[in-house]
Structure 1
């Protein structure tokens, strides 16, 4: 069945069909061409005899990448199925086998960044920013002998900060291969030094706040809506006091306090696992917040009596 459109000759809505060869929309009743030279925006399908059923038949390539020399649209010729081994003896085969694409290292780096970003559920703008940061550093040719995975992870960490979607170093490390938090931290300092020192570019990452991490931490713990709301208000209030702890530690400590005031109490071990903050650090942050607790915890969530019943650190 075709679509329906109004035909001026038939003076009514009639069924029409699309002639893909000519690009015409034709009325099936009288044959009138209602629209000509249309552009077919559907996918172009290919059929190759030597392809398996697992191959995608849509003949559409990936988008161009302005960070690559040729936009990422270089042609790669693969060895056809069933052909002889003479393919690699040809000049083209030897050129391709040596990996002569000048952007091959960049392409691999971008793939690694994309994999890490996808595992963290990050948007494409963050991936693009991380790619740009890596390209700038890589252009200086200072990466020999350095942990490549740590460099890529650090680029992603900086990109998250710059896009106001920060992730903890531990979260970044959890999706990276063969690296540690310490190595990522060192790589971040190296990248900032390269961009600001040798290239003269300002690397603005912005301040991070406990609220930047709170919603995600609460989600990991499966906290109820009202409990999350109370934790968010408490985090905002905590910024009025001089609590010299990292925003991540403050977020973890407030989650601990809020859940202790709720029916659904969360063990310290679970909070440590969800936030990536050590249990001892959460206890110490709780101790620093305790003197201000009556002003931090929302009144609608807990009464003075409830606060007094909290264990004194």
Structure 2
């Protein structure tokens, strides 16, 4: 590496001084003047910034089991189209067996992906039918699904984090960021429950962990406990024995639920011991009573997002019990269309 120890401002273009600067004991000759001029040129070259890494092609191996959030949608004239906010993002998951699972910010879409001629191709097969009130405009869902089916070129853009870019046949550009650093099934940070995030969602209770750490047994299948959030603070659910109607509100950002039983099924069961004596089992009644009480004693509520279709609602109660619900697919479309 060449080191220049004398300030260039002290060299006024005199070849003798230039030679003395480069080689203090050399005599000025034509060759020496040429060498000195070359050295001066090298010393004064500006330092070039490192060029950004070029985009890399997308392959099946590089994209399988990754989840992405739509960040930018750029039109051919470089104007920006509005996309769903980060709180309710439009997402894209490349699942196993070449399955594509997406979320529009309102409905789920599904389909397949492949790599004909080494270029990403997506075929969307179905989309939910829930009415949407949180999207940038009413056409977004339809045009997002259309865009995914018209990819002309796909590539990974270097950076931290790297970005997935899709260039459509129309010249539009979709740019995605990895969702939670991209490992499907990896534990992700919790999102605070808000009215926008929970409205029009269905949940099934999967675990109930009391403060003492022992898991409480829960019914499954048709008897599973559930809770569903509608518009305008309306809700309903199932207690394992009876249907319920409920309401919910947000005060100072805190979720509050007011549940109530609407059917009058008898929740105790009877059986007989080997001697023929009747045995009453009140466990269903006790579970219903405790479930209704739990829903009215919520201290904190958050949502864990493992992928675009795997979400958990976690309720922590005043008594430190923890209830974890799994989001149910689909929705009762007749109520919203």
TM-score range, shorter chain: under 0.3
Q: Normalised by the size of structure 1, how large is the TM-score?
A: 0.27
Structure of higher RCO (CA pairs closer than 8 Å, 6+ residues apart) = 2
Larger Rg: 1 or 2? 2
Which structure has greater strand proportion? 2
Q: Normalised by the size of structure 2, how large is the TM-score?
A: 0.25
Which structure has greater helix proportion? 1
